[in-house]
Amino acid sequence: MNILFYTTNEVAPQYGGVERVTANIANALTTFYNVNCYSAYKYNIDKSFIKQQFVNTIKINSYHNLNNLIQFIEQNKIDVIINQGEHKLTKSLRLALNQSQNKKCKLMFALHVSPATEINFITLDNPKKELKEGKNIRKNISKFLSFPYQKIRKIIKLPILYRESYHFADKVILLSSHFKKPFLEYSHLKDDSKIRIIHNALSFHSFYDLANYNHKKKEVLIVSRLEEEPKRISLALKIWKEIETDHTLSEWKLKIVGHGKMESWYKSLVIHYGLQRVFFEGTKNPEPYYNEASIFMMTSSFEGWGLTLTEAQQYGCVPLAFHSFASLTDIITDKVNGFAIPNDDISLYIKQIKLLMTDEKLRKSMSANAIESSKQFSIEIIIKKWMEVINE
């Protein structure tokens, strides 16, 4: 079987969540089911990232002229296409396939966010940052002026794109059963026969050995793209400021693994707050950091799944997250394998992270629960569900 993944960006596991999930699925399909995996993408990423290996790849330049992509699909005898979240591609690709020699090729659409939250991707965070730095002034003023129009346009158009993705795809994959109702309501659809639920799989193959728990360090970890929307790293730094002012917690430090447009701004916040125990680690393999850290912080305003939460859990790194997205309850059972904190309740977040820091017995107990609960998302279990849907 030949399967083609479409992603907006080139696939590199360290680049972002969708890219890491794509790499994991592709590797598992090849390992467990001898599937040949191919890649199509629109944007190149920085050469510093280690790219996922596929049988063959193609870069497309437009969603309107898909002749090269269709030729690629025909030449490589693609059986299934998995569109990783690009609504604009689904309709045009299905119509192009219907005119090709490969009419029977299955087209699946996988949504990697909470339904309708793509609206929030239109922000002025980066233009604000650049204007403060005196960069690209004319360009960023233009972005400010056009922002209301762009926002309204997206609000009007997105439900239409949702309906098209559902209509033109053979199957629609959602990350959580909690997303089915909002997907249908937002799309103004009643039929749910095409919807399938598949959680994201764990990123790593091994689980933390609790016998080594004494080797865990007094470290709090953030693994994230360094962008304010939706990650809200500034909120994490605000919370951490309260930790550093508590002298009984002076042994604890915060490590931040990741890259992004707002990195320099976050570093300036660290200086502004006078923080002494915050370390930016850059783009690194996060696995060794999960292995050493005891606590994991997420402060996102929304997520599709929160892949880093399950990564933390499988390494016994107890997570805290705001309950700002419905799928959080698929991952965290509050006070059992992590803390699910009402959205924006900063005081409770501070209280719970301090509780974890000061109560080692509780920390170890929740670590054990986190490791055990994460096993339900093992790649062996999740890839079996993918194959069941692919073979329907």
Say if residue 66 is in the same domain as residue 105: yes
Say if residue 14 is in the same domain as residue 70: yes
DSSP, collapsed to helix, strand or coil, labels residue 295 as strand
pLDDT tens for the chain, 392 residues: list them.
999 999 999 999 989 889 999 999 999 999 999 999 999 999 999 999 999 999 999 999 988 889 999 999 999 999 999 999 999 999 999 999 999 988 899 999 999 999 988 877 666 666 676 667 777 778 777 777 777 767 787 788 899 999 999 999 999 999 999 999 999 999 999 999 999 999 999 999 899 999 999 999 999 999 999 999 899 999 999 999 999 999 999 999 999 999 998 999 999 999 999 999 999 999 999 999 999 999 999 999 999 999 999 999 999 999 999 999 999 999 999 999 999 999 999 999 999 999 999 999 999 999 999 999 999 999 999 999 999 999 99
Say if residue 36 is in the same domain as residue 184: yes
Closest CA relative to residue 258, chosen from 226, 288, 290, 230: 226
Say if residue 51 is in the same domain as residue 105: yes
Say if residue 178 is in the same domain as residue 274: no
Say if residue 386 is in the same domain as residue 366: no
Q: Which residues contact 234 (CB under 8 A, 6 or more apart)?
A: 228, 266, 269
Domains identified in the chain, total number:
2
End-to-end Cα spacing for the chain? 14
Say if residue 183 is in the same domain as residue 224: no
Stated pTM of the model: 0.88
- Within-domain flag for 261: yes
Rounded distance, CA 84 to CA 280, Å? Answer: 30
Which residues span the domain enclosing 23? Answer: 2-118+155-201+379-390
Say if residue 47 is in the same domain as residue 169: yes
Question: What's the Rg (C-alpha) of the chain?
Answer: 22
Say if residue 187 is in the same domain as residue 221: no
Strand order in the sheet with 318-323: 278-282, 253-257, 219-223, 295-298, 318-323, 339-342
